A and B are shown apart, each in its own frame.
Chain A
Amino acid sequence: MSTANPGGGKGGARRLVPSFEARMLLPALLLLAAISLFPFFYIIYMSFNEVSLIGGVDFEWVGLENWVEMFTDPNVRNSWITSGVYFIATVGLEMVLGIGIALLVHELVWGKNLVLSMLLLPMFVAPVIVGLLGRFLVDSTYGLYAWFLESTGLITWEILGSKTSALMAVILMDVWEWTPLITLIVLAGLSSMPQTVLEAAKVDGANYFQRLRHMVAPLISGVVVVALLIRSMDAIRYYDIISVTTNGGPADATKVIPIRLYETAFRFQELGYAAAIGLGMLAFSILVANLFMRILRGQERAR
C-alpha cells in the first residue's frame, strides 16, 4: 500500500497514512483477499494435510507426502501427458482455424454480420451441453455423425470406444465450441488495422500474401497472443465435455488432469492430495501465462 508524506521534504516526519487512492481501493482489495487469497492459502495448507470431511473438516499434518505422491504417481504423470496432447491439439487447431476464418470473414463485402453471428453461435452453448450434444451425435445407436461415418466407411469402429478416436472426438468438440472466440478476437484486431497503410501497400503492388505476411501478421500479433493466452488458460482446466462424454476413458485415453483432480477430490475424498494436484495445475497455468505475457511484451518493445 502506498504511503503519504504530509511533512514533505527531507527529514520530514513520515507517517504510514494510506493515500486517498489506496483507501478507495481498500474495500475491493479486502473483498478480493477474502474470495481468492484466503482460499489460495487454505489450499496450500490442505496440500500438506490429510483431510477428513465427516463431521466437519478435520486436518492431519502429513508434511510433503501429498507432493511426493504427486510427482511420483504414474497415473498423474499420464494425465499430464494427456493434458499436454489435448492442450497442443485444441489450442493449435483453434488458432489456425480461428485466424483463417477471421481473415475470410474480414474480406467479406456484404453479409459479414450475418456470417459472424452464425459463426459465434457455438460459443454461447454451455460446454456441458456441447458434450451431451457431441455424445448424442457420435453414439452408435442413434448418432447422426456415427451413422454418416459408418455409412461412408470413414470410421467403422465406435468413436468414443477407441482410444485415439475418443481423444480426437473430445478435442474436436472443444475446437467446435471455441474456435469462434479466436475468430472474434482476431477480427477485432483486423478491424483496428490502419486501412490507409494497407491500401498504400496495395497501390505499391504488394499482393494479398505479401500484405498478410509483412503487414497484417505483425499488426495483429498482439491480439493473437491475447487470444492464445485466454484459450490456454481454459484448455488447462478443461473438464465439462470429457466428463459427460468419456469420463476419462477408454483406458484413461482422455483422462486429462482436471478429471483426475475431480476424481481424487470428490470420488476418493483425498482432498489433501487433490489440493497438491490443483496447485500443480495453477503453477502450470502461471508458467504458460508468463510465457505468453513475455512474448506480448517482446512484441510491444519491438514496435
Chain B
Amino acid sequence: MRRRASAAGAMGVPGGLSRRDFLKMSGAGLAGASLLGLAGCGEQSSQGGGEGWKQYSGMTLNFISENTAPTSAIAANLKPFKDLTGIDVKINQLELGALVQKVSLDVSSGDPSIHVIYADPYQVLAPFSAAFADLNDFEGDDSLPSVKKGFGDFIPTQLAAAGRFEDEEALYALPYDCPTMVWMYRKDLFEKYGDKMSQDLGFDPMPSDKITWDQYYEIANWFNKNASEVEYGSGHQSKQYDSLMCDFSNIMWSYGGDYFENGEQVGKIGTEDPGASLLDQDGAVEAATFYQKLVGISHPGSTSWDWTALDEAFRAGNIAMAPNWHEFAAGIEDSNLGGKVGYTRLPGGPTRSASMWGGTGLGINGELNEDEQRAAWLFLVWATSPETQLSGLKSNVGGGTPTRQSVYEQPEVKNATKPPTDLPNMLTYDAVSEAWKPENIGLRPKIEKWNECNTVIFTELSKMLAGDKGPEQAMRAAKEGFDRANGA
C-alpha cells in the first residue's frame, strides 16, 4: 500500500499561531525584525522567502549522498547553514549502489535516521517514492521559509525528472545536480589535424551537433590510424555497470529506439506500469549494432571503464574524444589538458541528437517525525538556493552545475561560458543548455523496477561487447528481461 507523508500540512507552532502570524501581530516583532535585519536577516532573505530559519536550532540532520562534486562543495561550505539555522548537518557520501542499500534499509527500519536523501530519480525515487515527503506541503506552509523564486526557477525538465513520480502535482525532490552527457574532444588535435582529416574523410570533422554517429566513428578511426598523440580516437564508459546503459542510451535514442512506448513521459514523470519494452524494435537493434562496431574500434580499456575511469583516461591523454559527463569539465580544465578541450552536444543519429541527463534531487524522508521533516526542509531550501548553487559552481573542490535558471542569468556566470574562466564547468553551458531542451534531453525510464531493468540492459550489452551475443539477440534478451521485471 502506498503511503504518503504529509507532515507539514498539519503543522504549526504550538498554540496554532505561526511565527509569521505572531510577528505580524506584534509591534515588538516588527522592531525586532528590523534589528535582526541589521544582524543577519539579509542572509536569511537571500536564501529563501519567509522566516523560521532558527526554529530547529540545535538539531542534527543526516544527509546521505552519492560522492559527487556538488555534495563535496556543500560539505566544504556548511558553516553558512549552521549560522543561518543553528542546525548541524552530518554528510555521508557513498557510492550510488551503497546509497541505494542504505536508503532501502533506513526507510524500512521503522526508526529512520536519514533526514535528507540524495534521491536519484531512477534508483531511489522511483522504487521508494512512497517513503518521500511531498514538498508542496512545506512550500505552502507559512511557518517555514519557502523556496526562493519558487519551484518555477528550476529548469522545467529537471524539476519534473528529478522531483516527480507518476503524479504531475506531487513533488518529492528539488533538483540538486544535473550531470549531462556531452561530446568532449581534444580541441588541440582537431585544430592540428582538421584539414588533413577533412580531406581524408570528405566532411568537416569539427565536433558539433551536425556530426552524425557514423561520422564520429570515422573520426575515431582516423585518429586510431593517424594521430600519435593519443592511443585511440574514442573511449567509452562500457563497463558492465550503470555507465554502459548511459553511454548506449544516447545512441539508441538518436537512432529512434526507446525503452518503452511514450518514452518521453515515462522518463519525465515516470510510471508504475510502463508496459512492454520496445528494445527489440529496429531502432534499438540498429543502435546496438552500431554501438558494438564503435566500441570495437575504441580504446580496449572501454569495456572496463565506468565514468570515472573514462574521465581519468581522457585526462591522461589516452583518447582524443569521448561522450562524457559535463561536470567533469572542472577537473579536466584543472589538469594538463586545461584549455585544450572542447565541449559540444553529442552527435546525432537518424532521428535526433540525444544527451543522457543524470541529475538528482534532494528529498526528505517521509518516515521521520514532523519536526525532523521540517528541519530537513530548511536544508533543502538552503542547499538548492541560487546562492548555494553559485557557491558550489565556484567551489575549489570541484563543484556542481546549477539547476536554477536564475543562476545562469547572472552576469558573472554568463561571462564564464567562454575561456578563460574561473568557473570551468560553465564552458559546457552552450552544449548542455541545448541538451536540456525537451526535444534533446535523454531521460531513462523512471519506473519502480528500474534497478532490475538497468541491470538487464547493461548486462546484455556487456555480453554483446564480449562477443557472447549478437546485437539482435542481446536486445531480444534485454526486452524479455524488462518484460519479466515489469510483469508485462
* Residues in chain A within 8 A of chain B (CB atoms): 53-57, 139-142, 157-163, 166, 246-253, 263, 266-269
Contacts and interface: CB of A to CB of B under 8 A. Distances in A.
B451 A54 contact: no
A54 B318 CA distance: 46
Q: Which of A162, A166, A251, A269 has the most CB of B within 10 A?
A: A251
B107 A141 contact: no
A268 B128 CA distance: 12
Closest 5 CB pairs of A and B: A249-B240, A53-B108, A161-B303, A161-B304, A251-B466
B100 A266 contact: yes
A252 B312 contact: no
Interface stretch (B347-355, B424-432, B455-463): B455-463
Contacts of B3: 54-55
Contact of B309 (A141, A163, A251, A252): A141
Contacts of A158: 300-304
A251 B468 contact: yes
A53 B107 contact: yes
B108 A54 contact: yes
16 contacts: A55-B367, A139-B301, A141-B301, A141-B309, A158-B301, A161-B304, A246-B240, A249-B239, A250-B304, A250-B462, A252-B459, A253-B466, A266-B97, A266-B100, A268-B455, A269-B451
Contact of B104 (A56, A140, A249, A266): A266
Contacts of B104: 53, 266, 269
B455 to A, nearest CB: 7
B465 A157 contact: no
Nearest to A268: B452
Contacts of A249: 239-241, 459, 462
Given A53-B104, A250-B304, A263 B455 contact: yes
Nearest to A245: B304
A159 B309 CA distance: 14
B128 A54 contact: yes
Nearest to A254: B240
Interface residues of B, number: 40
B466 A139 contact: no
Contacts, number: 104
B130 A55 contact: yes
Contacts of B449: 268
Nearest to A264: B452
A269 B104 CA distance: 8
A263 B97 CA distance: 9
Given A250-B466, A267-B101, A268-B452, 12 more contacts: A54-B107, A54-B128, A55-B3, A141-B313, A249-B239, A252-B240, A266-B101, A266-B104, A267-B451, A267-B452, A268-B455, A269-B451
B131 interface: yes
B462 A56 contact: no
Given A139-B309, A161-B300, A56 B110 contact: yes
A6 to B, nearest CB: 48
A251 B316 contact: no
Q: Which of A141, A158, A250, A267 has the most CB of B within 10 A?
A: A141
B453 to A, nearest CB: 10
Contact of A251 (B1, B302, B313, B465): B465
A159 to B, nearest CB: 8
A269 B127 contact: yes
A162 B303 contact: yes
Interface string B232-246: 000000011100000
